[in-house]
Amino acid sequence: MNKTNLKGVAASLVMMSATLASSVPAFAAWEALPEVAPAPADNPTTEAKVALGKMLFMDPRFSSTGTVSCNSCHNVMEGGDDSRTFSMGVHGKTGGRNAPTVWNSAFHSVQFWDGRADLLEDQAKGPVTNPVEMGVTEIEQAMDKVRAIPGYKPYFDKAFGKDSMTVVNAAKAVGAFERTLITPNSPYDKYVKGDKKAMTAQQVSGMETFAAAGCTSCHSGAAFNGPKMAFGQGFYTKFPTFADNAYNKKYDLSADKGREEATGKAADAHMFRVPTLRNITDTAPYFHNGSVNDLSEAVALMAKTQLNKDLSDKEVKDIVAFLAALTGEYPEIVMPRLPATSGHSLIAD
C-alpha cells in the first residue's frame, strides 16, 4: 500500500469515527476528488498511452459486427454508461447486469459489479470476448484487427516502443485513457474545499442526512465507494442486506448472486462492489440489475435494504439534492481519428 492509499485510509477512518460519534460528521471527514487518478506501478499514465487508449476505446471495428466499441455502453458523451437496464451488444444481444459508469472508474480498486477484475487493464479485455457484448471468439482475433490497421502502429510505437502491438499493451492504453476520465470540481468538491456557497442549503441538509442515516458506512471516500484500498482489494457489501421487504420483491434484487457467481464461494453470495455515487444523476437506471429508474426510489430503497430505515420524503429529497452536488466537471474530449484500412473493410459479420 502506497503513501496515498495510507492517507486515504486514514481519512476514511476519521470519517467513520466521525460518523459513529455524531450525526453530523466533522467537515474534515469529507474528501474532494483528486485531480489525478492512481495508476498501477507497471502502467504509469502517459500522454502517448492516453492518446492510443482513447482511439481503442472509441473504435467499434474490433467487435464481431463492427458496431460496438467500449464507448457504446460506456458513453463518455453521457454519464459513462448507456441509459439502459442492460447494455445491448452485437446482434442486439443483452447481458444481465447494468453497465457501470466509466467516469471515475479509476478510483475503484476492483472492477465489475462483482470485482472479478483487479485493474482497468483486466476489465478492458472482458467485453471483447463476451458473446453478448463485442462477441469476438478469441481476444487475439480482435488484436489481429488492430494489427491490420496500419495507422495504429505509430501510436503503439510511441506509447510502448517497437513491436509492441499486443493485447497487454492495448489494455494498458485503454486503462491509461480511462484514468483520465475523472470529474473533479463538483459543487460538493468546491464545498468541502471551503466554498460554502457551492452547495445549496438543501444539499447541505442532504449531506448531513446522508451521513446521519449511515450511507457513509459504505459510500465513503472521495469517490463515495468506500475507503481507499490497494488495487485488487475490493470493498464489497451485501445487497440487499435486509432482504425481507417490498423493494426486494418488486425489483428482484436477490436474483443475482453477485460475487458468488465469480468466486463460487457461498460467503460471496449477494456481495457487490460498492459503486461510486459520483455523477449518479447521470447514470440511471440504477443497481446491478438496472431495475430502478428513479433516483429518489433508489435512495429510499437503499435506506431500507441496507440500513433497514424508512426515510421520510424530505430526507429522500434532501439526499437526492446532495447527490446532484456530486456531479462534477466532465473534461473536454476531442474525437480521435480512427485510422483507416485503405480501400477495404475489416468487418465481415
Q: What is the DSSP letter of 98?
A: P
Query: Which one, 72 or 104, has the nearer CB to a second copy?
Result: 72
**Pairing between β-strand 236-238 and β-strand 271-273 as defined by DSSP bridges:** antiparallel
CB of 148 to a second copy, least distance (A): 12
The three-point CA angle 21-271-16 to 5° equals 15
285-304 binders of a second copy (CB under 8 A): 285, 293-296
Q: Does 28 bind a second copy (CB under 8 A)?
A: no
CB count in 10 Å sphere of residue 209 = 24
For this structure, is 31 an active site residue? no
Cα 197 from chain centre: 28
Nearer to a second copy, 73 or 207 (CB): 73
**Binding residues for a second copy restricted to 256-275, rule: CB under 8 A:** none
Which one-letter DSSP state was computed for residue 95? -
| Pairwise CA distance, residues 124 & 130, whole Å | 11
CA distance 162 to 105: 30
How far is it, in rounded angstroms, from Cα 248 to Cα 240? 7
- Contacts with a second copy, 181-200, as mask; x by CB under 8 A: --------------------
Asked if 58 interacts with a second copy (CB under 8 A), we say yes
Cβ pair 287, 253 in contact under 8 A: yes
202 binds a second copy (CB under 8 A): no
The active-site residue, picked from 31, 121, 133, 297, is: 133
Count residues near a second copy (CB under 8 A).
Answer: 49
Rule CB under 8 A: which residues touch a second copy? 58-61, 65-67, 72, 75-79, 82-85, 88, 90-93, 280-282, 284-285, 293-296, 320, 324, 330, 332-338, 340-347
Catalytic positions are 133
